[in-house]
Amino acid sequence: MRERDAAQQRRRAREFEAFVAGAAGRLLHVSTLLTAEPADANPRAQSLLVAALAGAYARWEFLRGEDPYDRTRQELAGRFARTSWHHRRHRGGPLGSLTPQERLVLVLRLYEGVPEEQTAALLGLPVQRVRAICARAVSHVHARRHAPKAPAREVVTS
């Protein structure tokens, strides 16, 4: 029994290590875009990712064929949404002038390519609302890109 437990533990550790080696780079980029920190100083993004990965590790046996990347991203997004108040400040990064919710929708929809319906379900919002937030965030980033000297918008958290 104990021996089987140990073997299972080793297999889990091996699989988890392979998963982290493959996915950590992209997930950390996602996390850093969300927390709007500069790429070389991102402690908040790192702890967000560590928490999400730890959840994936704890639930590794219960994934049952589900994609661990999807699960981890879901957990990351959920955690970010719950703690978005702590991420309202502009710390750098290309999405710093957006609200946390706009960042989350933009990253999930455009960078990660999550379908509108899934994004809406993940955030507990109607699909139309997700579409509207995404369009607003896109035009904001677009406008800033074409007028880089424009003053930063006051970030309103809702």
Binding site for other proteins (CB under 8 A): 13, 16-17, 20-21, 24-25, 28-29, 32-33, 38-40, 42, 45-46, 49-51, 53-58, 93-95, 106-107, 110-111, 135, 137-139, 141-142, 145
Residue 46 CA to residue 125 CA, distance in Å, equals 27
Alpha-carbon distances of 52 from 38, 60, 69, 109, 155, rounded to whole Å: 20, 12, 10, 19, 26
Nearer to other proteins, 93 or 100 (CB): 93
CB of 67 to other proteins, least distance (A): 17
At what angle are helices 116-123 and 68-82 packed, to 10 degrees?
A: 50
Nearer to other proteins, 90 or 124 (CB): 90
Nearer to other proteins, 59 or 81 (CB): 59
CB of 59 to other proteins, least distance (A): 9
CB of 27 to other proteins, least distance (A): 9
CB of 70 to other proteins, least distance (A): 17
Of 31, 8, 47, 154, the residue nearest 104 (C-alpha): 31
Of 112, 130, 113, the residue nearest 121 (C-alpha): 130
Asked whether 105 and 134 are in contact (CB, 8 A), the reply is yes
CB of 121 to other proteins, least distance (A): 21
Nearer to other proteins, 6 or 54 (CB): 54
Q: From the CB of residue 43, how many other CB atoms can be counted at a distance below 10 Å?
A: 9
Residue 34 sits at the vertex; the CA angle it makes with 30 and 35, to the nearest 5 degrees, is: 120
Nearer to other proteins, 62 or 85 (CB): 62
